Structure 1
Amino acid sequence: MEMEDIQISQMESASIFKKTNLPVTLKFENVVYKIKPKTEGMLNNSSNSEEEKIILKGITGLGGRGEMLAMLGPSGSGKTTLLTGLGGRLSGRLDGNITYNGKPFKNSMKRYTGFVTQDDVLYPHLTVTETLVFTALLRLPKTLSHIEKIAHAEGVISQLGLTKCKDSIIGGPLLRGVSGGERKRVSIGQEMLINPSLLFLDEPTSGLDSTTAQKIVSTLWDLVNGGKTIVMTIHQPSSRLFYMFHKVLLLSEGNPLYFGRGEDVMGYFSRIGYSPLVAMNPSDFLLDLANGIVDDPQEDQASIKQTLVSAFKNNLLDGVKEELRKYDDSQVHDKLQKGKFNQWANSWWKQSAVLFRRGMKERKHDSFSVLKVGQVIAVSILCALLWWRSSEIQDQIGLLFFYSQFWSFYPLFQAIFTFPQERMMLEKERSSGMYRLSSYFMSRIIVDLPMELVLPSVFVIITYWTTGLKPFALNFFSTLFTLLFSVLVSQGLGLALGALVMDQKSATVLGSVIMLSFTLVGGYFVHHVPIFISWIKYISVCQYTFKLLVGAQFQAGETYTCGINATCYVQDSPAIKAVGLGDTAISIVALAIMLVAYRFLAYLALVRIGVTKK
């Protein structure tokens, strides 16, 4: 994909942003969220296991057009749960009335809604421009041309003040990239690309210094002035940030303690008997109240919280409900629903093509890292030295068995981490309706093909011609293609295990046990496998690969030196006899079935764990 700089004027950029800009008013009334705690062990009381824990206890409020609503509260107060529920991304039992311009949430609302998670889930090796351009190509509708989508991304970069770092990589824990504030602005920019009328942000200033946090909120303030509705959670903002919020919702253990204008909050708590003895940051004071901490140490924290909850119900709740009833959003809602809704912005082929290009740019750094390339080269040289010009049939068979084992284990353990590592990215992008799961999966499989096949090809080229194997083109290519076939099958098994378990440590242990089982029944270590366990060899990648590798080097009727002035047929060698020289077609068909079946199993596992479109 071309990443050329496209110069657009501020007027052109603004015109792009106005294409889908419609006001959205968010209302939520008496929102309650319950979950069933997970029980551990078999001795738990059955009645207790049925009890539900109430996370949100009747939250009411609203966010109007051109307003910034901040939800404050200590850790565990329910801020993120409420934000996720309002954003239509919360699974489980959510009761209450949540409306967007007077109507419940539907998939059609996603084109007007952006959601920025607390953690910046970004690809570390992509630049700022590449990150936003790829997002634009996936999320913006097909009615816009390729050039217009890139121009749109450039406009967001300019609007967020990311021009200086546009060509810098995002970076990660072990890779130096842009700063934390710039990463956060990139995350916000990904959502701004669709020009959302309603933007949710979970802790956008978390981990940032006060100056950087100020820049982030100032950016959001500019969006609010443009008519957007912004709802965010924030833990402990500075006083300068606090007074930028139009409305504040204070939570404590799932209960609302205050909802109203930020500038009125201190006056309200003073009227009900709670005011700080000294001047202090309003957010610090509110967090103390939400934790039940006041200047009088004799007062019980639980009773303070209950008093504040009762005060909210008696003094503020009726006014909040009256404010909700004032809004008439029917006409705006009709505009939102006008026209036929297509849940996908782009076709399956377009999604796959963009994901393929993005995957190539990101995955090449991991697949061809110095460590991995060095590992394969070192093992290749070691094999060349150990089997240098070997003419002993037993040594050659040992080399072929090592081929089958190393290139079964290596690709499996490379692939086993794929989906666990990308789960957060996949869930983030899928929840926003960016692409189909099948598009992602197919592009991921195709991206890995050339990268997974380069290193084993280099390995065979180095070792084959130095270890005494038959120096003929037919034998060489038979060996090479067999090994590459095995690599793809083992990679599919690794993808399936990773998708099924979705935990790197557990998947590694399971993969080790499976591959060791395949190795032991592969026909090299044990020639006479007991019948009650011999069935494993019929599903063993190693066994079929070893059989094909042996068949690529030896033919029935060939002889070898088996003693002083004695020759034997290769098919009578104990190591070859255990696997046999026939049934090549059966081995090829078996590996082909595994190649397809493992990948299909991986896809089904991704569907099962819920990374489908919500």
Structure 2
Amino acid sequence: MMPIDHDPTSNTTSPSFNMNPQDFPPSPHIDLPLASARAVSPCLEEVQRFCQDSSSPPRFSTLHGSLRPIILKFQDVIYNIQLPPTTESTTSPSPTTRVILNGVTGIVRPGELLGMLGPSGSGKTTLLTAIGGRLQGKLSGGSITYNGHAFSKSIKRKIGFVTQDDVLYPHLTVLETLTFTALLRLHKNLTRKDKIDQVDMVISELGLTRCRNTMIGGPLFRGVSGGERKRVSIGQEMLVNPSLLLLDEPTSGLDSTTAHRMMATLKALARGGRTMVTTIHQPSSRLYQMFDKVVVLSEGYPIYCGRASHVIDYFCSIGLPPGCNFINPADFLLDLTNGIYSDTRHEDQDVEHYTKLEHQDNNSPSCIKQFLITSYMNNLYPILKAETHHTFGDQNHSTLNPSSGSEENEWSTSWWEQFKILLQRGLKERRHESYSGLRIFQVLSVAIISGLLWWHSDVTHIQDQIGLLFFFSIFWGFFPLFNAIFAFPQERQMLIRERASGMYNLSAYYMARIVGDLPMELVLPTIFISITYYMSGLKPSPITFILTLTIILYNVLVSQGLGLALGAILMDVKQATTLASVIMLVLLLAGGYYIQHIPHFIAWLKYVSFSHYCYKLLVGVQYKGYEVYECGLEIRCKVLDYPTIKHLGVHNLGFDVLALTIMLVGFRILAYYALKMNQL
């Protein structure tokens, strides 16, 4: 390994990564600006020729709405997180905070594409999230400004954020996905036709015309390709014609050709006057040459920020030139961020000198990282600081101003429009799941088997009929409960992304979800009761049948509300399913069928069991006071005197309806506030 040639007076051996500029002496290695002429090695010249951009991507079409250029500045950004306390006993106390970002500074202008490079865990996504205003908590230091203004809701509407994972509804087509996004995000002053026209324009510009009517797809069925999914995600943000577009690992999971096309699309978007910032893990040389600027991070500390074409010049100037076998600047940068440096051009020179250096510690990864940080602070940081301070003497781009409080709280569409659009989207997406062949088969098979088991039972088999009614209450308590548990955990990522983009009000989403579930949750129990009721020989009166069906449907809604609440509180399917199993088992045992003489200290359980109230109501509407049954040889007794019914007590049915109503409303209110508490 080639030794690091640096000023012995500089503090490069200190283990402390302190980012205060005054702690570092002036560096004698480089006289910036970096564009100044300097001697470059022959192999470096070859690399520069290889990295020249040979093509200019086409200009992106103008979308609806004026594009207000944004000059993005981030100055001395510091972000720390609190670590949980450790119980391990150590000689030295463990740190209570962890540094994620430390002193990151940079500026991106309209028309520029900035790439953030660094290994996993270097802080790229954290910095991108902070720029997008989506960081949990506040910055520990520094500032991020947009045309000189702090982040606000008005600025948020001009920022597009594309996450690494493509969170899309699998059963919607490309056209439907972009259409619903446009209807929700574009301003209410635009007509529906204007919004549809904008969708068509985005589909055309992003090359999605061929797959516009293809479903997105998911784990269980094939849809569009990975590159097309990523372009759909970008298209959702492009609909609002963002001035600042942020992308987290846009080439992740794509082959080299698709990744190159993706970057060409981003380059075209930037050339249209937008400010573009993207994180990228390990770009190829073809991708690297598309960046105008790069920020290189190592464990949260910047080691370079500037023009992508000047990066090799800079590292050569501080004594870290690449080897002759160097091809990709990104590979060279990633080695440096990991504290790895080797210069193969000098492998056959100064062998004796290298042998001596092997016994020194000045080539260790930590020492190399410290040297890179020191060089950055001495050489690049003063230039960046001066550039960011002088930028806003030129205010001809600063047309984006903070809005008044009333405008910031204004949604793009009204609450009622949000509700209607979300309801329509939910019905289109969930109909495939709710009316799947497997679920229909499950309900029909149980209905037919139940009808056959209780085939033409009559009042003489009163215990059997009571058992069937209790089965109705527990089956249509379990089934909707466990289906509803999945609702919010499965849509959590989608809800987080759309809410972070300011697409709709949480209450509009919640009401659309509840209303949209009604036809899907009530059709199957209606079919079930219609089959089983008459097969089993229950009272053939139409009024009794309608009352029985109404009670079952009411029970379904209560059970569904409990499932929604459990899912919203825990936001984890496994935990919610486990807890629901325990709750339903307790409610089942306390329902009043298996045990009638419950000890007083635990008798309260039946009063919180919706299955108990449903069971009482079903028995109450099925049997009247004048009905009799054979209780012995030629002996007839009143049905209401049957021990099970008598102990159940079916006289005060109004209280049971009230109890179910309280649960119906209470569970749904609990679910809504659980979503709000989870910051959704």
Residue 341 of structure 1 corresponds to which residue in structure 2?
407
Number of residue-to-residue matches in the alignment: 596
2:483 matches 1:414: yes
Q: 1:294 aligns with which of 320, 341, 356?
A: 341
- Residue by residue over 1:32-73, the C-alpha shift from the partner in whole angstroms, topping out at 9 and shown as x without a partner, is 0011013466x789x968821111011000111100000000
* Local SS of the residue matching 2:144: strand
Q: 1:304 aligns with which of 364, 368, 387?
A: 368
Contact 2:155–2:400 (CA under 8 A) maintained in structure 1 = no
Contact 2:147–2:400 (CA under 8 A) maintained in structure 1 = no
Residue 384 of structure 2 corresponds to which residue in structure 1?
320
Counterpart amino acid of residue 388 in structure 2 = L
Q: 1:571 aligns with which of 640, 646, 649?
A: 640
Deviation at 1:395, TM superposition (A): 0.7
Counterpart amino acid of residue 357 in structure 1 = Q
CA RMSD between the two structures = 1.7
Contact 1:521–1:543 (CA under 8 A) maintained in structure 2 = yes
2:527 matches 1:458: yes
- Residue by residue over 1:197-254, the C-alpha shift from the partner in whole angstroms, topping out at 9 and shown as x without a partner, is 0000000000100111111111111111110000010001110110110000000000
Structure 1 segments (4+ residues) deviating >6 Å: none
2:626 matches 1:581: no
Q: Partners in 2 of 1:331 and 1:35 — Cα distance?
A: 38
Residue 538 of structure 1 corresponds to which residue in structure 2?
607
1:208-227 equivalence runs, <5 A: 208-227=254-273
Deviation at 1:376, TM superposition (A): 0.6
Residue 84 of structure 1 corresponds to which residue in structure 2?
129
* Local SS of the residue matching 2:175: helix
2:554 matches 1:509: no
* Residues 1:238 and 1:438: Cα distance change in structure 2 (over 3 Å): same
Residue 218 of structure 2 corresponds to which residue in structure 1?
172
Counterpart amino acid of residue 314 in structure 1 = N
1:3-18 equivalence runs, <5 A: 14=61, 16-17=63-64
* Local SS of the residue matching 1:188: helix
Mean Cα deviation higher: 336-345 or 189-198: 336-345
Q: Partners in 2 of 1:272 and 1:578 — Cα distance?
A: 90
Q: Partners in 2 of 1:338 and 1:570 — Cα distance?
A: 72
Mean Cα deviation higher: 247-256 or 50-59: 50-59
2:105 matches 1:38: no
Residue 457 of structure 2 corresponds to which residue in structure 1?
390
Q: Partners in 2 of 1:48 and 1:396 — Cα distance?
A: 69
Structure 1: gaps (5+ residues): 1-12
2:128 matches 1:59: no
* Residues 1:241 and 1:15: Cα distance change in structure 2 (over 3 Å): closer
Mean Cα deviation higher: 560-569 or 218-227: 560-569
Residue 445 of structure 1 corresponds to which residue in structure 2?
514
Residue 105 of structure 1 corresponds to which residue in structure 2?
151
2:247 matches 1:201: yes
Contact 1:22–1:336 (CA under 8 A) maintained in structure 2 = no
2:230 matches 1:184: yes
Rg bigger for which structure? Answer: 2
1 or 2 for the larger relative contact order (CA 8 Å, sep ≥6)? Answer: 2
Deviation at 1:321, TM superposition (A): 1.2
2:341 matches 1:274: no
* Local SS of the residue matching 1:316: helix
Residue 599 of structure 1 corresponds to which residue in structure 2?
668
- Residue by residue over 1:412-461, the C-alpha shift from the partner in whole angstroms, topping out at 9 and shown as x without a partner, is 00001111111111010001110000000010000001100000001001
Mean Cα deviation higher: 321-330 or 63-72: 321-330
Mean Cα deviation higher: 517-526 or 267-276: 267-276
TM-score of the superposed pair, with normalisation by structure 1 = 0.94
Residue 371 of structure 1 corresponds to which residue in structure 2?
438
Mean Cα deviation higher: 353-362 or 557-566: 557-566
- Residue by residue over 1:542-572, the C-alpha shift from the partner in whole angstroms, topping out at 9 and shown as x without a partner, is 0000001111211123211223322222122
Mean Cα deviation higher: 32-41 or 261-270: 32-41
* Residues 1:51 and 1:120: Cα distance change in structure 2 (over 3 Å): same
Q: Partners in 2 of 1:40 and 1:371 — Cα distance?
A: 48
Deviation at 1:335, TM superposition (A): 4.4
Residue 119 of structure 2 corresponds to which residue in structure 1?
74
TM-score of the superposed pair, with normalisation by structure 2 = 0.85
Q: Give the fraction of aligned pairs with identical amino acids, expressed as a percent.
A: 56
2:587 matches 1:521: no
Deviation at 1:97, TM superposition (A): 1.4
Residue 303 of structure 2 corresponds to which residue in structure 1?
257
* Local SS of the residue matching 1:93: coil
- Residue by residue over 1:278-335, the C-alpha shift from the partner in whole angstroms, topping out at 9 and shown as x without a partner, is 1221111111111111227953111111111111111111111122123126454454
Structure 2: gaps (5+ residues): 1-59, 344-353
Counterpart amino acid of residue 266 in structure 1 = I
* Local SS of the residue matching 2:491: helix
Counterpart amino acid of residue 294 in structure 1 = Y
